[in-house]
C-alpha cells in the first residue's frame, strides 16, 4: 500500500453514485471512543445536504438494526484490535465499493495503538481481563494495515467539513492525491508564530498537513493527531529540537501518541 496515492484509487477516479438509486452508506466502528461519529452528527447543515444524496442504511451509533447485506460506501471509525474485527473489516471491504476511514484510531491506530508496542513486549500484561465477547485480541492497527482504504479523514476527532468533502469524493469521484506535506507548510501560510521560537515542542514538524493547523491557530501546539507525514524527516526534527532547547525525549514520547504502529516511529529507537 503506497503512501502517496490518488484518493479512491480502487475507483479509478470515479464515484459510486448511481443515477437510478440513492447511494447506500453504512457507518461502522471498531476500537474507538465514538467521538468521530459524534462529530458527524455535528455537521448540521452539511449533514442535511449530504443526507439528501445518500441512503444512510446503517449507523452503528444510532441504530440497533442489523447492517444491510449490500451497500456502496462503508464509513469506518476505530482501530482493529481483535480477530473478529479484522474479519468484519475484510467483509466490509469486500462488500463496499468505497471505504472511508475516519479519525486517528482508524488511520494511525491512534489511542488504541498506544497498546501496540506493549502488546508485542508483554502480550499477557496488556489485555489481562478481556471479556470473552471481544474474541481473541490482536495488536492494534489502522485499517490500512489490513485492507485497501479509499479515503482517509484524519485527526482526533475528524473535522465534520473534512468528512463531508471525503464523502462527496466517494460519491462523485476524485483523482486528488492524498496530502503528504508537513503541517508546518500550512502553519506558515497562517502567519502564526512558531512554538519552537518559545522553546515549546510542536509536532507540526513531522505531522501530515490537512487540518489547516487547527490547534496552532487556537494557540496550542500540534499533538500530531493527523499522523506522521510519509515525507517527515525525524532525524532532522530531533536536531531542530536540540537547536531550540526542546527535549528530544519529549519529542519521541509525543511521537508515539498517535504513531505507535508506524514503523518510522521506532526506527531511530
Ligand atoms: S480518532 Fe479520537 S475522537 Fe475519533 S474515535 Fe478515535 S479517539 Fe475518538
Ligand atoms: S512547528 Fe508547529 S508552530 Fe512551528 S511552524 Fe510547524 S506547525 Fe507551526
Ligand atoms: S494541529 Fe495537529 S493535533 Fe491539532 S488537529 Fe491538526 S494535526 Fe491534529
CATH number, position 163? 3.40.50.700
Residue 137 — very low, low, confident or very high, per pLDDT cuts 50/70/90?
A: confident
Predicted pLDDT of residue 80: 95
Task: Flag whether pLDDT at 109 surpasses 90.
Answer: yes
For residues 92 and 162, state if they share a domain: yes
Ligand 3, atom nearest to 225 Cα: 8
Q: Is the CB of 157 under 6 A from ligand 1?
A: yes
Q: What is the mean pLDDT of residues 111-134?
A: 70
Q: Is the CB of 160 under 6 A from ligand 1?
A: no
Predicted pLDDT of residue 74: 96
207, HSE (Cβ side, Cα atoms, 13 Å): 34
Instruction: Provide the residue range defining the domain that includes 111.
Output: 5-172
Last residue of a domain, one of 144, 172, 200: 172
The three three-digit cell numbers of residue 247, written as one number: 527535549
Q: What is the mean pLDDT of residues 246-258?
A: 95
Residue 211 near residue 232 (C-beta atoms within 8 A): no
pLDDT-above-90 percentage for the chain: 55
For residues 213 and 102, state if they share a domain: no
Average pLDDT, the chain: 87
Question: From ligand 1's centre to the CA of 60, what distance in Å?
Answer: 15
The answer to the question of residue 103 being in a domain is yes
Q: How many C-beta neighbours within 10 Å does residue 16 have? A: 21
Exposed e or buried b per residue across 109-146, where buried means at least 16 C-beta atoms within 10 angstroms of its C-beta: bbbbbbbbbebeeeeeebbeeeeeeeeebbbbbbbbbb
Last residue of a domain, one of 172, 193, 218: 172
Predicted pLDDT of residue 2: 38
Residue 153 — very low, low, confident or very high, per pLDDT cuts 50/70/90?
A: very high
Predicted pLDDT of residue 251: 97
Predicted pLDDT of residue 131: 63
For residues 137 and 24, state if they share a domain: yes
For residues 80 and 207, state if they share a domain: no
The answer to the question of residue 178 being in a domain is no
| Rounded Cα gap, residues 122 and 269, in angstroms | 18
The answer to the question of residue 127 being in a domain is yes
User: Between vectors from CA 261 to CA 255 and to CA 267, what angle results, nearest 5°?
Assistant: 65
For residues 166 and 200, state if they share a domain: no
Predicted pLDDT of residue 125: 62
| Rounded Cα gap, residues 103 and 88, in angstroms | 18
Predicted pLDDT of residue 1: 40
The answer to the question of residue 97 being in a domain is yes
Query: Ligand 1 pocket: which of 78, 152, 162, 163 to mutate (most atoms <8 Å of CB)?
Result: 78
The three three-digit cell numbers of residue 112, written as one number: 488504541
For residues 168 and 188, state if they share a domain: no
For residue 215, which ligand has an atom nearest its CA? 3
Least confident of 129-138, 204-213, 236-245: 129-138
For residue 229, which ligand has an atom nearest its CA? 3
Nearest Cα neighbor of 135 from 88, 176, 205 is: 88
For residues 165 and 200, state if they share a domain: no
E strand spans, the chain: 23-29, 54-59, 73-77, 80-82, 98-102, 137-141, 151-153
For residues 128 and 28, state if they share a domain: yes
Q: What's this model's pTM, rounded to 2 decimal places?
A: 0.91
* Digit-coded pLDDT (tens) for 216-243: 999 999 999 999 999 999 999 999 999 9
For residues 154 and 259, state if they share a domain: no
The answer to the question of residue 179 being in a domain is no
Residue 32 near residue 113 (C-beta atoms within 8 A): no
The answer to the question of residue 137 being in a domain is yes
Domain total of the chain: 2
Predicted pLDDT of residue 150: 94
Last residue of a domain, one of 172, 194, 216: 172
Predicted pLDDT of residue 147: 96
Predicted pLDDT of residue 4: 52
The answer to the question of residue 66 being in a domain is yes
Residue 161 — very low, low, confident or very high, per pLDDT cuts 50/70/90?
A: confident
Q: What is the DSSP letter of 153?
A: E
The answer to the question of residue 164 being in a domain is yes
Residue 255 near residue 224 (C-beta atoms within 8 A): yes
Task: Flag whether pLDDT at 123 surpasses 70.
Answer: no
* Digit-coded pLDDT (tens) for 29-85: 999 999 999 888 877 666 666 767 788 878 877 777 888 889 999 999 999 999 999
Residues 6+ apart with CB under 8 A from 233: 206
For residues 163 and 220, state if they share a domain: no
Q: What is the mean pLDDT of residues 88-111?
A: 96
* Digit-coded pLDDT (tens) for 166-198: 998 999 988 888 888 999 999 999 888 999 999
For residues 163 and 31, state if they share a domain: yes
Q: Which residue has the cell 498537513?
A: 209
Q: Is the CB of 40 under 6 A from ligand 3?
A: no
For residues 137 and 256, state if they share a domain: no
Residue 227 near residue 262 (C-beta atoms within 8 A): yes
| Rounded Cα gap, residues 29 and 62, in angstroms | 12
Amino acid at each position: 500500500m503506497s503512501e502517496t496515492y490518488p484518493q479512491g484509487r480502487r475507483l479509478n477516479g470515479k464515484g459510486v453514485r448511481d443515477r437510478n438509486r440513492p447511494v447506500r452508506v453504512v457507518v461502522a466502528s471498531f476500537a474507538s471512543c465514538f467521538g468521530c461519529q459524534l462529530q458527524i452528527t455535528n455537521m448540521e447543515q452539511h449533514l442535511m445536504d449530504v443526507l439528501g444524496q445518500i441512503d444512510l442504511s446503517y449507523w452503528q451509533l444510532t441504530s440497533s438494526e442489523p447492517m444491510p447485506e449490500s451497500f456502496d460506501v462503508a464509513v469506518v471509525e476505530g482501530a482493529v484490535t481483535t480477530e473478529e474485527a479484522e474479519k468484519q473489516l475484510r467483509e466490509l471491504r469486500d462488500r463496499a465499493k468505497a471505504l472511508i476511514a475516519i479519525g486517528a484510531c482508524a488511520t494511525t491506530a491512534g489511542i488504541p495503538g498506544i497498546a501496540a508496542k506493549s502488546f508485542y513486549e508483554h502480550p499477557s500484561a496488556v489485555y489481562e481481563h478481556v471479556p470473552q465477547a471481544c474474541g481473541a485480541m490482536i495488536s492494534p492497527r489502522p485499517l490500512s494495515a489490513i485492507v485497501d482504504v479509499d479515503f482517509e479523514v484524519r485527526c482526533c476527532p475528524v473535522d465534520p467539513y473534512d468528512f463531508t468533502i471525503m464523502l462527496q469524493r466517494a460519491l462523485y469521484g476524485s483523482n486528488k492525491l492524498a496530502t503528504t506535506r508537513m503541517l508546518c507548510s500550512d502553519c506558515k501560510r497562517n502567519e502564526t508564530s512558531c512554538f519552537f521560537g518559545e522553546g515549546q515542542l510542536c509536532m507540526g514538524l513531522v505531522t501530515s498537513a490537512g487540518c489547516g493547523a487547527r490547534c496552532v491557530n487556537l494557540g496550542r501546539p500540534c499533538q500530531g493527531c493527523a499522523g506522521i507525514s510519509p515525507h517527515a524527516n525525524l532525524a532532522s526534527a530531533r536536531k531542530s529540537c536540540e537547536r531550540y532547547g526542546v527535549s528530544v525525549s519529549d519529542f519521541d514520547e509525543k511521537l508515539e501518541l498517535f504513531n505507535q504502529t508506524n514503523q518510522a516511529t521506532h526506527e531511530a529507537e
